Structure 1
C-alpha cells in the first residue's frame, strides 16, 4: 500500500511507501471521530457571554409595593422575565476542549492518512523547482495529476507557507494550503483529496519509508 508519487510536472511516477508504523495502523473510524470532535471543540473561542440578573445594572428598587396594586408581585425590574433583565442559564466564557490521550491522537492521525491511501486520494509531490508563484502552473500541475486528486476540497500540505508552491496553490478555488506543523486530524478528514510535499511525507512515515522513484526526464 502506497501513495501516488508525482513528478515536478504533476504526472504520476511510482509510489511513496508507507512507514512500518503507518502500514501497521488499522483504520479506526470511532477514534477519528473522537479526535476530530475534540479538535473542533478546541478551536471554539468559547467567548459567548450573557449577564445574569446580578450582573445587569439597575433593579435595586422594588418596582411597586407588594400588595394592593392588582399587579403581580415584583421585586426587581431586572428579573429574567422582564425586558432588559438578566438571562437565565445563558452561556458564559469557558473552554470547550476535552482531553485526548497522545497515543489516541497519533493513531487517529495515522488512521486518517491511511484512509486516504486506501482510497487513492493522497499523493506525494516531489520538489518542483518553482522559483516564483504561479497559479496557472499550479492548475496545470493538478491537471496532469491522477484523477483522484480532482476531488475537492483539496488539502495541500507544505513545509513553508511562503514557498512558491504554497503561494501558487493557495489562490485556487477549493484548495486549502497548510503547513505541516499546523495539520490536525480534522484537516486531513476535511480534504477529499490530499497533496503532500515529499519532505512532509517522509517526516510522517519516518526514514523507513523512502519514496520509490520512477525513471523519467521530469522526475
Structure 2
C-alpha cells in the first residue's frame, strides 16, 4: 500500500473522532484585512519580515488533558495531567500528514531494479532474416517488445528519503498524542511489573487488557520508558498490541492504534519532552534551521579543532 493512501486512511479516521486538534474548522492567526490596511507601510514591511520568524511561535499552543489512572485490577485510583504542545486546528492535519508521509517514505529501501535494453544479455545476432518469413522484422532479441527483453522506463535503485525538521516531527507526535488524550482514547496504568514476577504469561496480560476496557482484537499502543523482561515477553505475542519505548516511539503506531495507554513514568517523560517548556527553544532559534545541519556544523568544528591540535603537537 502506498504511503499516501495509508496516511489518508489514518488521518480520515483521526479526523472523524471528537478531537478538536484535527477538526476541519479553520482558525486564522493572522491580523484582519482592515487592521492591515490601517497600518502604515513601514509597519507592514516590518511585520512581513518578522512574520516568518514568529509564525511558529503563534501556531504552537499547550493543551492539557486529564487521564484516568487505573490499577492492574482495572479500578480507577487517580488522575494525571498530560500537558503537550500541539498545532492549531488549521495546520494540525498538514503537520501530521507531512510527518507520516516522511516516516513511511524514508523506510523504502529503493532497491527495485530492472534491466534496460542495453543491459540484457545477448541479442547481438539478428534473430532471423529481414524478409521472406512472414513475420515482423526483428533486429535484436533484447527489444522491449518481446518476452525476455529490456524494460522501458523500469524502476532503478534510488533514494526515496525526504527531509523533515526534527522540531516539526516532534510537533506532529505531540499533536497526535494530545489529540488522542482529548478524545478520551488514552489512559494510564500503574506499574505492574510485580504481577509478572513469577514469569511471563500472555493469558494474564490479555485478561488485564480486558479489565482496562480494551478489546484484544483491536489495535492498541502501550508506551513505557522501560519494560521488564516478563512484561515484554507476555505482551509481544499479542499481534494487535504495540509496546513502545522512547527509542521506538513513532507517529505511525500512534495513529494506527485505537487506544493508547501509558505508565506514570511515561507520562512524565512525555510532559518533559513534548510539554510546554520544550518548544521554548523556538524563541532563540527562529530561522528554521534543521537540527541535522546544526549537528553537521558541530561535527565540522570538532574535526577542525582536532586538526589544529595535531598541528600543535
Structure with greater contact order relative to length (CA < 8 Å, sep ≥ 6): 1
Q: Residue 204 of structure 2 corresponds to which residue in structure 1?
A: 137
Q: Distance in 2 between matches of 1:104 and 1:192?
A: 24
Of Structure 1 and Structure 2, the greater helix share is in 2
Q: Tell me what 2:186 maps to.
A: 122
Q: Map of 1:3-82 to 2, 5 A cutoff?
A: 3-19=67-83, 22-23=84-85, 25-26=87-88, 28-66=92-130, 71-82=135-146
Measure how far apart 1:108 and its partner are.
Answer: 0.5
In structure 2, stretches of 5+ residues that fail to align are 1-64, 276-313
CA offsets 1:141-160 (integer angstroms, 9 cap, x no match): 22222x4x448201122334
- Cα 1:162/1:57, change in 2 over 3 Å: farther
Of 59, 66, 82, which aligns to 1:2? 66
Alignment of 1:182-197 (within 5 A): 182-197=248-263
Q: Report if aligned partners of 1:8, 1:129 keep a CA contact under 8 Å in 2.
A: no
Q: Distance in 2 between matches of 1:192 and 1:70?
A: 65
How does the TM-score come out when normalised to structure 2?
A: 0.59
Q: Which residue of 2 aligns with 1:214?
A: none
In structure 1, C-alpha distance between the alignment counterparts of 2:140 and 2:153, rounded to whole Å? 18
Q: 1:126 to 1:208 in 2, by over 3 A?
A: farther
Give, in whole Å, the separation in 2 of the partners of 1:122 and 1:90: 46
Q: What do the CA deviations read for 1:109-154 (whole angstroms, capped 9, x no partner)?
A: 0011011101111122221133132223212322222x4x448201
Aligned-partner Cα distance in 2 for 1:158–1:54: 54
The residue number in structure 2 matching 1:110 is 174
User: Matches of 2:265 and 2:184 in 1, distance apart?
Assistant: 20
Distance 1:26 1:64, change over 3 A: same
Contact kept? 2:174, 2:274, Cα under 8 Å: no
RMSD: 2.5
| TM-score normalised by the chain length of structure 1 | 0.81
The separation in 1 between residues aligned to 2:246 and 2:120, in whole angstroms, is: 46
What CA distance in whole angstroms lies between the structure 2 residues aligned with 1:85 and 1:98? 33
Unaligned runs of 5+ in 1: 210-219
Match of 1:216 in 2: none
Give the number of equivalent residue pairs. Answer: 205
- Residue 269 of structure 2 is matched in structure 1 by 203
CA deviation after TM superposition for structure 1 residue 74, in Å: 2.7
Aligned equivalents of 2:273 and 2:114: distance in 1?
Answer: 53
The one of 126, 133, 149 equivalent to 1:85 is: 149
Instruction: Give the distance between the partners of 2:142 and 2:274, measured in 1 at CA.
Output: 67
